[in-house]
Structure 1
Amino acid sequence: MPYEFKNIYSNIEKRSGPIAIRFDINSPVGRNGRIAQRNGDVNLRLETNAYLLQAYSKLGPLILMAHQGRKNPPGKKPDKDFVNLLDHHLVLSNLSGIRIHFVEYSPGESWEEYSAKLVKQVKHTEPGEAVLMDNLRIWDFEKEFKPDCPYIPLFQDLGLAAYINDGLPLWHRDDASLMFGRHVAPTYIGHISMKELRTQHRILHDTGRKVMIIGGKKPKFEAIPNLVDKMDILTAGVTGILTAKLSGHEIGPRNEELLADVFKGMDKEIKLYGDLVEDYCIGYPVDFTLSQQGNFSDSNRFNVQLKDLSKPEWETYEIYDIGKETVKSYAEMINTGRYDWRIRAGPNGVYEMGFNNGIKLIEHILGTGFVALGGDTVEELQHFDLCKPIMYSDGIVLLGGGSHVEGFAGMPYPSIEDLLEHGSVS
């Protein structure tokens, strides 16, 4: 396995200086602009990382690097999840039991001004304590690593002892905070990422049968060409709607608008995926749950067959979930297919509004060999209190989502490929 690196503790304990950790604590933000802070409601990513900080803090002062949401360009609707990390700081402090200082960004502050505040705080931070930087995506240079990345001189001046990359859920990206570390200090793979990589490796190299249900609100079909020869594919979410359309079905005007918005500028990719749909048996829903914006009452939720979506009575309705027949047919196919691994990648419906047919499907197929890939799926499972039932029934819940889909597809992880090729400062 190419991702095995030296033991973190035996190597770092002989060094002095702060240790930077890039991890993923991205959490769902409520209508009040806050993340959940009560026990039982805290996002699993945030909770898991918080407990590990106590172990990492034994090695020296920690500098914690994370993002929340995404910074949309001017003119585009702001992302409700793009908030600062003040609430994350409170949760991390409460769960980890260590003292964590938060260096908050002030609106209008330049990087030079912010980094000066950070340096001052780090220099007054003792071993066993940590400093949490504010949302890294505030800074435009975070989007893509470049040789003049401002993180490099900052952490060189701080005398960084080590950099720990524990951000596997982001590994399919080349964000600056994932890529800079090897240029500054000895670089290690964190515990959560290593554990999830081992699971991914075990599944990928198992000769048993595999099936993946690809859902979610983001395009994921780019990975499917590299997956279809390794496992069977069923679709839901926006990928399921697109697959149904490319298979020759009419989906209704509101759903056409949805696809046009989600897949804007992806005509070439859709053409290639359409060819794949013709050549391979890629499953798609046979029915959907429809409703209308502004009226999600139970009396305004309808189970509609795929063949009926183009009828006039459904012109003002949109797809919000897979349908009951799809739950039944997918479950029957999976449970009679003798699959050793049943992988769930992305919600099947808009779970935030109580559309839960995707959850019903999970309840039919969980147990040994069931794997839930993280991101929105983890949030969905927590919403319906299903994480522990999955794990207690010998299933697996991974924190990485899209990064695992691309990993199963054999697509490279930029920060890891770069580290393997060039090594890190020793």
Structure 2
Amino acid sequence: MSLDFYTIDDFEIEDKTVLVRVDINSPVDPNTGLLLDDTRIKLHAGTIKELSDKGAKTVVLAHQSRPGKKDFTTLEQHAEALSNILNHEVRYVDDIFGSNARNAISLMQKGDVILLENVRFYSEEILKREPELQAETHMVQKLAPLVDYFINDAFAAAHRSQASLVGFAFKVPSGAGRVMEKELKALYNAVNNVKKPCVYVLGGVKVDDSIMVMENTLENGSADYVLTTGLVANIFLLGAGIDIGSYNSEFVKKKGYWDYVKKAEELLKKFDGKIKIPVDLALFIDEKRVECDVSQLPNEPIYDIGTETIKQYAEIIRSAETLFANGPAGVFEMEDFNIGTEDLLNAIASSPGFSIIGGGHLAAAANQMGLSGISHISSGGGASINLLAGEKLPVVEVLREVASR
């Protein structure tokens, strides 16, 4: 599929200064402050290596977490990890667009790579504004004159209209990096060439996102079935009039999703038979996994879908020609309650259909399992689910707009 914006292939980058925005936001141990996983750093290393190998002076912009979170920290460790992965020095600069950062950029030689400080240390980065306004922020105004090209590789953040993501495209020639390019090709191909039957497996705790995707895909006829798991399933069980116990109902309220129960009821009626809900569940009772039919649920925490539900869902999954899955089926971090998540992932991997796993926890679980039968594992849950819900991604729209000029 041809994309209507520029990529690295469209630019002569040798001896040019290239600003590349990546998403290397990584898990950090809250006690030691050490990086726990370098998956995203490895993911973007290919784009950075290609730029460096082609003789570019590569300036990397990235974020880590957000203000107020325990893992909101500098990018010093990220630079060290990236250096090790590339086997090439990546110099960390503890500045974003001040004199230290600008001097470091001006002194770069061909093939050099530097990583500037966490862009979310800059308060204007967090503000949500129209892309044209983001182009007028201090960061963009200070850095844009120093670079020849801007490459956006941060697909996982493509649904955000923030300064470092959308501002530079209005000031310098801009295109997509390899991660962005690969993600969009896979997702647009799946959306525009849906083979039937098409099945969505939606779980996890981001209920609003799942309902948005569900409504869009069922309304436009692209989805034949939606299989619900996780907190999404609990809300649809409530919508179907099933008592899931006060403990689980209170959890739904605590998460701020109680208003979605009515929406779930409406969707179940409107798309009768297309939205599947669990027939049994696994509960956490006396430190153990105990499975119960949904008609006989005690007031205990729901931690996973049950064996009969897994069997029914797996049968539908294996008959699908197109599959999209997002969100785990339960508390997959606990050994007794990872069964639903892992069994459904195995079913997806063994299905002959084209399959996409959204980012986040489900992608992490799929990667840990080392599954080889999944067509595409996305790096961005939020971005991919927004795209599938028919939402426009600000980063992609900006890349298209500047290319059309």
Do both share a fold (TM > 0.5)? yes
The question of whether the paired residues in 2 share the 8 Å contact of 1:65 and 1:136 is answered with yes
2:386 to 406, 416, 419: 406
For 1:370 and 1:9, the matched residues in 2 are separated by 28
| Higher mean displacement: 144-153 or 406-415 | 144-153
2:365 to 376, 380, 391: 380
For 1:123 and 1:353, the matched residues in 2 are separated by 50
How far off its partner does 1:31 sit? 4.9
Alignment of 1:357-372 (within 5 A): 357=339, 358-367=341-350, 368=352, 369-372=354-357
Q: 1:285 to 1:11 in 2, by over 3 A?
A: same
TM-score relative to the length of structure 2: 0.86
How far off its partner does 1:201 sit? 2.0
Q: 1:116 to 1:253 in 2, by over 3 A?
A: farther
| Cα shift readout 1:143-174 (whole Å, capped 9, x = no counterpart) | 3245232222121342x111111111222221
How far off its partner does 1:7 sit? 4.7
Q: Structure 1 vs Structure 2: percent identity of aligned residues?
A: 27
TM-score relative to the length of structure 1: 0.82
Q: Which runs of 5 or more structure 2 residues have no equivalent in the other structure?
A: none
- Aligned partner of 1:356 in structure 2 is 338
How far off its partner does 1:214 sit? 0.9
Structure 2 residue matching 1:307: 3-state secondary structure? helix
1:276 maps onto 2:258 in alignment: no
How far off its partner does 1:272 sit? 4.0
1:121 maps onto 2:104 in alignment: yes
For 2:261 and 2:159, the matched residues in 1 are separated by 20
| Cα shift readout 1:298-340 (whole Å, capped 9, x = no counterpart) | x43322332233x3xx3xx3222222222112112222xx311
- Aligned partner of 2:141 in structure 1 is 153
For 1:303 and 1:104, the matched residues in 2 are separated by 52
For 2:188 and 2:144, the matched residues in 1 are separated by 34
For 1:365 and 1:318, the matched residues in 2 are separated by 27
- Aligned partner of 2:321 in structure 1 is 340
Query: How many correspondences in the alignment?
Result: 386
Opposite residue 245 of structure 2, the aligned amino acid is G
Opposite residue 36 of structure 1, the aligned amino acid is L
- Aligned partner of 2:288 in structure 1 is 300
Opposite residue 162 of structure 2, the aligned amino acid is D
Structure 2 residue matching 1:366: 3-state secondary structure? helix
2:252 to 259, 263, 277: 259
Q: 1:287 to 1:142 in 2, by over 3 A?
A: farther
The question of whether the paired residues in 2 share the 8 Å contact of 1:218 and 1:262 is answered with no
Alignment of 1:46-65 (within 5 A): 46-57=41-52, 58-65=54-61
For 1:192 and 1:136, the matched residues in 2 are separated by 20
Q: Which runs of 5 or more structure 1 residues have no equivalent in the other structure?
A: 73-78, 106-110
For 1:103 and 1:117, the matched residues in 2 are separated by 8
Q: 1:138 to 1:259 in 2, by over 3 A?
A: farther
- Computed over aligned residues only, the root mean square deviation of the Cα atoms, in angstroms, reads 2.6
